[in-house]
């Protein structure tokens, strides 16, 4: 009753009053976008909603419509101005999504709506994100993380598995060939035999925290590599490594414990990756890169060669890192990537 009636009602009422209160902000932003970036002021794009039903998502535009000699749009990096990057960093470009909430296509809280082109890439678990309406704000804010964890909302689709609830509600999934173990983490303390398990949590920080709450003498964590992955060789492969479909890894990769390398990622030669790192789909790590512990790299992000990345660094989806990051616990977005916050 709550999910089917009251929550949609509260969402629509909230969106209506939010649009009234934020009316002056809408007007000022629209004028600035028109002056700085041109028209149309509103950008729309088809995204998958609840039950994978397409809907038209509305946002303020954040790029120009500059074209080349053949009247084709330039690359996104060339159309993104300094104003556009700053505008996106404030999230004010998301305000028109209140209209999507008002008409019932979205909710205030839910998984962020990704692109239609990702639908064929989802596995059965990933499709569960479409059992609910997409949200204006996502899991990162609901769980109270700081701004650096907001990047997670962009990458929620990239999580190969999801966590139902908080730490003690995380499921532990066993590889094929082992009897299923159903229950919660605290139930493991009652198991009197040693098991092999996959720590099926996409978020790097949460993966580490959950592991700290599991008795170390109960579980073994094998490395699982999809048969379609192309791997020259692993210089050092430790426990809990997950490599997904269509990954390409060049020679001499050194990787720590509990690293997740999602589908279609590409890793160059002589790369060193620390414990608990997560590479989301289509991430590119160029050759001779050193990465600290608990880092996360958003979908389609790129790290150029010969760089060093400190621990607990988050790189947003589509970002291109062109210089080493020495400061720990920071988030970078954009092309080229710039720091937006520190924990």
Q: Name the residue among 307, 273, 279, 308 with its Cα closest to residue 293.
A: 273
Q: Name the residue among 159, 167, 105, 172 with its Cα closest to residue 127.
A: 159
Catalytic site includes residue 186? no
Ramachandran area for residue 211 (φ above 0: left; ψ -120 to 50: alpha; else beta): alpha
- Per the listing, tokens 């600035």 go with 32
Ramachandran area for residue 52 (φ above 0: left; ψ -120 to 50: alpha; else beta): left
CA atoms of 267 and 283, how far apart (whole Å): 8
Name beta bridge partners: 325: 309
Name beta bridge partners: 219: 195
Could you tell me if 11 and 101 are in contact, meaning their C-beta atoms sit under 8 angstroms apart? yes
- Phi and psi, residue 341, nearest 5°: -165, 170
CA atoms of 205 and 328, how far apart (whole Å): 14
CB count, 10 Å around CB of 273?
26
Tell me the catalytic residues.
Answer: 269
């Amino acid at each position: 009753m709550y999910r089917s009636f009251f929550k949609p009602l509260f969402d629509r009422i909230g969106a209506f009053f939010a649009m009234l209160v934020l009316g002056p902000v809408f007007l000022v932003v629209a004028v600035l976008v028109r002056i700085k970036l041109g028209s149309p002021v509103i950008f729309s794009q088809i995204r998958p909603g609840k039950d994978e039903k397409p809907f038209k998502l509305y946002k303020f535009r954040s790029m120009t419509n500059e074209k080349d000699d053949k009247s084709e749009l330039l690359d996104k990096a060339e159309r993104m101005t300094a104003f556009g990057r700053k505008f996106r960093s404030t999230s004010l470009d998301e305000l028109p999504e209140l209209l999507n909430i008002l008409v019932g296509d979205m909710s205030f809280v839910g998984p962020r709506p990704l692109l239609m082109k990702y639908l064929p890439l989802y596995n059965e678990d990933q499709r569960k994100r479409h059992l609910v309406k997409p949200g204006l704000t996502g899991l990162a804010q609901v769980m109270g993380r700081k701004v650096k964890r907001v990047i997670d909302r962009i990458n929620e689709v990239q999580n190969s598995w999801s966590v139902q609830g908080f730490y003690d509600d995380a499921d532990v999934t066993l590889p094929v060939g082992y009897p299923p173990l159903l229950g919660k983490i605290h139930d493991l303390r009652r198991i009197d035999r040693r098991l092999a398990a996959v720590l099926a949590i996409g978020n790097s920080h949460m993966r580490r925290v959950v592991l700290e709450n599991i008795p170390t003498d109960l579980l073994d964590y094998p490395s699982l590599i999809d048969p379609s992955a192309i791997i020259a060789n692993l210089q050092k492969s430790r426990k809990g490594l997950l490599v997904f479909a269509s990954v390409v890894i060049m020679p001499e990769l050194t990787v720590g414990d509990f690293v997740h390398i999602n589908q279609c990622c590409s890793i160059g030669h002589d790369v060193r990756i620390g414990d608990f790192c997560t590479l989301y789909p289509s991430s590119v790590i160029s050759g001779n890169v050193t990465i600290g512990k608990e880092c996360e790299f958003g979908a389609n992000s790129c790290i150029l060669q010969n760089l060093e990345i400190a621990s607990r660094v988050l790189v947003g989806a589509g970002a291109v890192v062109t210089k080493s990051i020495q400061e720990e616990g920071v988030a970078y977005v954009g092309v080229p990537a710039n720091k937006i916050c520190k924990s």
